[in-house]
Each structure stands twice: as structure tokens, then as C-alpha cells.
Structure 1
């Protein structure tokens, strides 16, 4: 269990640094936006190239992928129905809310949890690849479409994901993995250095927003925040367990890996997307905070029951 606490403690400390810098008035909301932009356009794409370039894409063709996909779709559908008919959210806000309810922190938290709790970092690869190559491009296309004036041409709409820096970085990483190519040092070393910038930048930006932004739940629906948090922490891992165990017959360590990965909190880069597109930023920030704190006991219970 040490890996779980270590991963969460690391995230908390870096977020705390951002909040402290805001408290001391060293950084402000302008700096928060700049850090988010740097992470979105520079750090995160570089991280995608390096991370996916080293992953085994064959792992995505597994029962893990099937369970992960269904566990994502169920909370997304539930949230979209509520967002459309109860809260009447616009497309961009509903897209961010859907990501809050189902997009797990498979990178900077999932990797250490998979390594220390599950004993193998590759367990998180199917979730990581599915989110980067399917869920994230679709969401970014919707966010781009929501920000456009008028209805964009079809070809322009379907090409948008491939002009997004995060999607391009993900596709380049998969290309490296499939072909077995290795980047030359004069390219790979700078990319790795820039990729190392992504997570600290987004976490510090998040800490600034926590300190200087609206209070918890301000500017949004408490019911909506409770819904995204419950969908993420309870519904998603429960669906993953049901599909993997009862439908696919997965058991043992493989089942534990699927459920633990689904129980990870909402990823911090959802806040980066929300800030970048100026959609549902408070909901993203608050859901990340609640699920990050709440996922610790959830993962501990899952590990105790299935480990």
C-alpha cells in the first residue's frame, strides 16, 4: 500500500507548492493560465510521445481494454443524460463534465500505483492508450467544435483532433511503439526533458486555482459535483468489476488491476483542458480534488477485497 500513499502524497505536495506560491503572491491567476497553456501545448505532447513510445501497444488488445471501455461509457452516458435534460449544459461544459466522471489519472498516479500496488506498470497501459487515442481525441474534437462559430465543414471537423498537440503527440508515440523505432538522442533527450515539465506545470497551476479561484462548489451545482464524483469513484470501478469478472471471466491479479485502474481519480489534465477551452473549470477543479482524496480509501478497499 506504500505506493498508493506515495503517489498521492507526491501530487499533494506539488499542488501545495502551487497554492503556497499563490498565497505568497509570487504567482497569480495569469501565471496559472500560462502554466496550463505551456503544459497543454508543450509538456503534455512531449510526454505522450515518450510514454507511448515505450509502451507495448499489444496490451491494448486485451480483456482489460473491453472492461475499461464499458466502465468509461456507462458513467459518461449517465452524466450526458443528466447534463442534457436536468442541468441543460452546453456541449463544451458537458464534455468536460463527462471527462470528470470517467477520465482516470492513468499517468502520473496510475503508473506508480500499478508499479507498487499491482507489481507491474504495464497493467495501466490499456487504460492509458484508450484514453489518449480514443477518449481524449473525441473530447477535444467536441471542445473544438463547441468553440467554433457556426457549423464547421465535415472534413474540418474530423481533422481537428489531428491538429491538436496532445493527439499528435499520442499518435507519434504509438507509431514509435508499433514500428520499434527509437528516437535519436538529440531528439529524444529534449522531448523527455519537456515531457517532465507537463505534470509539475499542471499540478502547480491546479494549486494556484485552488487558492485563488472560487470556493469548493462555487459557481456550479453541488448535485452535479456530487454526481461526477460518485460516477468516478463508485460507478466506474463497479462497472469495470462486473464486466471483467462476470462477462469476461477475469480473476485474480488481472481483475484487481482492472478495478484499481478504474478507481483512480479524475486526471489533472482535465483541468488543463477546462482552462484551455474555458468550459466547466470549477467543476473540473472540484471533481479532481474530491476524487483524488476519495480514491485513496476506495483503492485500499478494492485492494483488500480482491488482492
Structure 2
């Protein structure tokens, strides 16, 4: 349990630093934009290369992946249906909302939770790879298309993911993992250093936005925020539990790992994407805040019930 609390506390402190810097007027909204862009174009791709190059990509072929996919797909599909039919949200806003409802913080929070609560960081690898290689590239392709004027032809749309820096970094990491190639030190060391900047940049930028942006629930729909938060904290882990336990027959510690991973809060990089494309920024920011706070009791309860 201490690992869960430590992970959440670490994130909270770094976000608090960003909010404090904004409150003291050391930085302003332009700094938040710069930090987000540096994280998106430079630091995060470097992090993807180094993280995935060390991962065992064969782990994606597991019951963990199947249950995780089910949880994410159901949560995102429910949001998309409501957003398009009831709230009539645009394509870009709907995409960010769907990510807010289903894209878990498998990196900077999932890894410590997997290590300290589940006993092995490898438990989070299938979700990490699924999101970086499938969900994120598809979402970014849609956001890229939505941000352009006019219609994209199918080959332009299909090529978008491989032209995105995050996707390129992810694919390079997978190639390194599959081939067993090791980057020379003069390449790996700078990438490691840049990658280490990704999470702090995201979190500080998020803290700045919390302080300078509208208050929680303002400039946005309370019903929409409640929907994304409930889908993330309750629906996604429940669907993952049902598929893993009832459909696939997973039991014990393996079941706990699947459900806890699905109950992780919305990832901070969704706010980076929202800022980058100027779509549903407030919804992403507020969902991250609510699910990060709300996931603490949810994960502790899951660890107690299933552990």
C-alpha cells in the first residue's frame, strides 16, 4: 500500500511545484505551452524509445492485454456515443474525451504501482504498449486530421501516425526490443537524459494550468466531467475484471494486476495532447485531477478485496 501512496504523493508534489511557480508569477501561461511542446516533440519520444527498448513486447500476447483492451474499448465507446449523440461534440473534442475516459497512466504512475503493489513492473507492460502503439497513434491521427482544414485523403490519414514524434519513438523502441539491438552510448545517453525530462515537464505544465486556468468544473460541462471520471474509475476496471475473471478464468494475483492496471487514473499526457491540438483542454485537465485523487481509494479497495 505504501508504494501506491508514494507514487501518488510524488505526482502531487511535482504538480504542486508547477502551481506554486504560477502562483508566484515566476512562470505564466506561455511557459505551460512551452513545457507541453517540449514534452510532446522531444522528451516523450525519447522516453518511448528507451522505455520500449527494454520491454518484452511478447507480453502483449496475454490475457492481460485482452482484458485491458476490453476495458478501454468499452469506456471509450460509451463516452463517444454520448458525446456525439447527446452533447454533439466535435471530432477532436470527442477524441480527447474518449482518451480521458480510457487512457490510463501506465507510465509514471503505473510502473511504481506495478513494482510496489503488484511486485513486478512487467505487469504494466501490455497496457503501456497497447496505448503507445495502438490507442495513441490512432487518436493522434484523428486529432491531426481534425486540426487541418479540408479533407484528408485516406493515404494521408493512414500515414499520420508514423509521422508523429511519439509514434516514431514508440516504433523505434519496439524494433530495438524485438531485435535485441543496443543503442551506442553516445545515442542512448542523450535519449535517456531527454526522456527523464518528459514526466516532470508534463506534471509542471499541468500544475501551471491548474493555477492559471478556470477552476474545477468551470468553462466545461459538469455532466461530461462526471461521465469521463466514472468511466475511468469504475466502468473500465469492472469490465476488465469481468473479462479476465469470468470470460478468461484468470485468478489470484494475475487478476489483481489486470484490474489495478485498469483502475489507474487518466494519464497526464492526455492534457499535453489536448493542449497541443487545443481540444477539450479543460475536460482533460479536470478528469486527470479527479481520477488521480479518486483512484487512490479505488486501488486500495481493489488491493484489499482481490489481494
User: What's the TM-score once normalised by structure 2's chain length?
Assistant: 1.00
Matching residue of 2:192: 192
Structure 2 unpaired stretches of 5+: none
Q: For residue 257 of structure 1, give the secondary structure of its aligned residue in structure 2.
A: helix
Matching residue of 2:113: 113
Matching residue of 1:101: 101
RMSD of aligned Cα (Å):
0.4
String of CA shifts for 1:160-193, please: whole Å, max 9, x gaps: 1100000000000000000000100000000000
Equivalent-residue separation in structure 2 for 1:297 and 1:59 (angstroms): 28
Equivalent-residue separation in structure 1 for 2:113 and 2:286 (angstroms): 22
Equivalent-residue separation in structure 1 for 2:135 and 2:35 (angstroms): 24
Matching residue of 1:228: 228
Q: Report deviation, 1:219.
A: 1.2
Q: How many residues align?
A: 307
Equivalent-residue separation in structure 2 for 1:219 and 1:20 (angstroms): 22
Equivalent-residue separation in structure 2 for 1:306 and 1:119 (angstroms): 15
Structure 1 unpaired stretches of 5+: none
Equivalent-residue separation in structure 2 for 1:280 and 1:102 (angstroms): 15
Q: For residue 89 of structure 1, give the secondary structure of its aligned residue in structure 2.
A: coil
Matching residue of 1:237: 237
Equivalent-residue separation in structure 1 for 2:182 and 2:252 (angstroms): 35
Matching residue of 2:39: 39
Matching residue of 1:291: 291
Q: Report deviation, 1:217.
A: 1.0
Matched, 1:202 2:202: yes
Equivalent-residue separation in structure 2 for 1:209 and 1:154 (angstroms): 36
String of CA shifts for 1:146-170, please: whole Å, max 9, x gaps: 0111111111110011000000000
Equivalent-residue separation in structure 1 for 2:76 and 2:87 (angstroms): 15
Matching residue of 2:154: 154
User: What's the TM-score once normalised by structure 1's chain length?
Assistant: 1.00
Moved over 2 A (4+): none
Matching residue of 2:172: 172
Equivalent-residue separation in structure 2 for 1:186 and 1:290 (angstroms): 41
Matching residue of 1:72: 72
